[in-house]
A and B are shown apart, each in its own frame.
Chain A
């Protein structure tokens, strides 16, 4: 074993610190997936007929589909019948008052650093906390309501704002879009809904915090964000899960609709349980995220820091429909040990004078595999489309892999598309240089990785940028190449 490997071993030993389980009585339905199960879920949520129809159509479609295998991922067969599709904390939380939320739950979210008491919360961030299949608590609802902003759990939105939901649901991600989107559309449990009315700048960050707790269950949340003309919102998503030996399935859908001149910033810090050092356990993370820049001069920006999950399959995308609309994707994807990620973005230019930017920073350590996959598509009438893509890979050690799969489909000659790619390694000489100045190897790696990811981290709201920095350092402690 070389010295380098030894350091690498040492540094990759950090434990996942969100791996605890909350002891709480659960309402879990039988394992397995069938039309009946879909009906049970819908019934439990007391859904209207149209919602059930949507689910059933999706389920029928899903049955005809096959799990995609084009990604650069090795995934053991998933038995969809051995998973339970609905789990909820038994004491059904009342959404209006924190007094009625189970203290266990409040405690759980406190441990995760997400206090549900508004006075304790980070100023300027409203949270929707989702555990397993249900939303536990949404903070600052009243404050937001004063501005006409709707921010609530998806289930609540279906009941309270059916017209809005019906109008936009499945518009960015149709139920038949792909295998996992169809699965999500059939069994989705909860998630967040957000509507920003015309001309309103949302005064605080909105965030959803997802927590998987129950064993042998999948989590299928669904988020819908609608930004009406001239509005602005910045949205954050965080996630963790207990440490378990068996893999758990997570298949989420996020849809964003941006109307005329609206701007939506969506940031994710994904830290699902990644599995242990030997690749045992961890979350299978199959996510479909797509935004439609429907209005002229609208803008959607995705920023993601992906450090968790055993498997990540995720391509946040923008459909640039409106003229002069703009799509952005900033990503840091870190894989360590046996983690695998196949992630990237799709930018679909349809309107005229549309612009997009893709900045992807992959960091691979251990024996992990990290692939960037991206598509830039310019439709025939999309005059003067511009894209700039930059895909960088940073390798720590020589047992990991980095791959880049950039695709371009261009049907309009006026388009200007640029692609840059680099691969670099943290060299022993760099580490020694830091050591010689009194900086130990772990700190040196953290510093170099954060420097490398800075361009993306800078796009995150401040508090979360700091969190993300720590997360990157922890996820890598000691992996030197």
Chain B
């Protein structure tokens, strides 16, 4: 299933700080094409920080470590170039951009990516057709895509919109930061379905979640526990059940002893 020759994402001993405070304290993780990794862990353990650091948020400073994405040094790339190279982050808290229409936003995003890859921009008609197709995949209504980016969207609608954008951009590596939280059961199924539809042997997904529930729909190859800035345990999908049952306390003991 995996292709050993090709590297998707390799994180080695990654340390990152915000305002001088160390949040990530030596993360190691390897993701291969075709794989789905789940990252779980208590509130404040650094899951979103990891996602943001990978996406290139400038609030976080990488103080140590290496990250390669598609065999290139990820940390050297500007945030927009990481995105254009195929890294997608579904935000835990998607941002509202009043006045900027979804259509304009997505068209710019798609065409910037195409430009980066040496492709012609899509014609308006081609773009709209693509938009219609992807809207179906995530069952998002035109009422949402005709509005400004996330403006006034409900929590669940914002999450669905993240997956819509993912569908439009067809990333190589998607990081879904608690995309399941705040979703009703139907939406959860739709989001999972969206992720599974887009899954291929060439791309990979990192799913950050608190709930084993999502992992019933998106079945991970690996589950990692992020705890206090480190990955303290990695195993197969059965780990998710164990966590759901026992919480994180038993791991805490494992780490501390």
User: Which residues of A are interface residues toward B (Cβ below 8 A)?
Assistant: 3, 424, 427-430, 432-441, 443, 447-448, 450-452, 454
Contacts and interface: CB of A to CB of B under 8 A. Distances in A.
A454 B80 CA distance: 25
B197 interface: no
A435 B56 contact: yes
B59, B79, B105 pick with most chain A CB within 10 angstroms: B79
A439 B106 CA distance: 10
Contacts of B169: 437-438
Interface of B: 55-59, 78-80, 82-84, 88-89, 91, 94-101, 104-105, 108-109, 112-113, 116, 148-149, 165, 169
Nearest to B113: A438
Nearest to A446: B108
A342 B99 CA distance: 25
A296 B105 CA distance: 44
A439 B57 contact: no
B95 A433 contact: yes
Nearest to B108: A439
Nearest to A424: B98
Contacts of B99: 448, 450-452, 454
28 contacts: A428-B58, A429-B95, A430-B95, A432-B58, A432-B79, A432-B95, A436-B56, A436-B80, A436-B82, A436-B83, A436-B89, A437-B83, A437-B112, A437-B165, A438-B84, A438-B112, A439-B80, A439-B112, A440-B78, A447-B100, A447-B104, A447-B105, A451-B99, A451-B100, A451-B101, A451-B104, A451-B148, A452-B98
B148 A436 contact: no
A436 B56 CA distance: 8
B127 to A, nearest CB: 15
Contact of B109 (A430, A432, A439): A439
B105 A437 contact: yes
Given A3-B58, A433-B91, A438 B100 contact: no
A450 B100 CA distance: 8
Contacts of B148: 451
B84 A448 contact: no
Given A439-B109, A451-B98, 9 more contacts: A434-B80, A435-B56, A436-B56, A436-B83, A436-B88, A437-B169, A443-B112, A451-B97, A451-B99
A435 B83 contact: yes
Contact of B55 (A424, A430, A434, A436): A436
Nearest to A4: B58
A448 B97 contact: yes
Contacts of A443: 108, 112
List the 10 closest A-B pairs by CB distance, nearest first: A451-B99, A435-B79, A437-B109, A438-B83, A433-B95, A451-B100, A438-B112, A438-B84, A435-B80, A440-B80
B97 A433 contact: yes
A479 B95 CA distance: 19
Contacts of B100: 447-448, 451
B88, B101, B109 pick with most chain A CB within 10 angstroms: B109
Contacts of A428: 58-59
A452 B96 CA distance: 13
A458 to B, nearest CB: 12
Contacts of A451: 97-101, 104, 148
B153 to A, nearest CB: 13
A167 B231 CA distance: 85
A435 B89 CA distance: 11
A443 B83 CA distance: 15
A454 B79 CA distance: 27
A443 B165 CA distance: 18
Contact of B79 (A430, A436, A450): A436
B95 to A, nearest CB: 4
B94 A432 contact: no
B11 to A, nearest CB: 18
A428 B113 CA distance: 21
A438 B56 CA distance: 12
A433 B165 CA distance: 12
A428 B95 CA distance: 10
Contacts of B80: 434-436, 438-441
Contacts of B108: 439, 443, 447
A452 B109 CA distance: 19
Nearest to B115: A438
Nearest to B109: A437
Contact of B78 (A433, A435, A447): A435
Contacts of A434: 80, 97, 105
B165 A432 contact: no
A429 B55 CA distance: 13
Contacts of A437: 83, 105, 109, 112, 165, 169
A434 B149 CA distance: 10
Contact of B116 (A3, A427, A438, A448): A438
A433 B55 CA distance: 10
Contacts of A424: 98
A119 B80 CA distance: 44
B60 to A, nearest CB: 11
Contacts of A429: 95
Nearest to B79: A435
A8 to B, nearest CB: 13
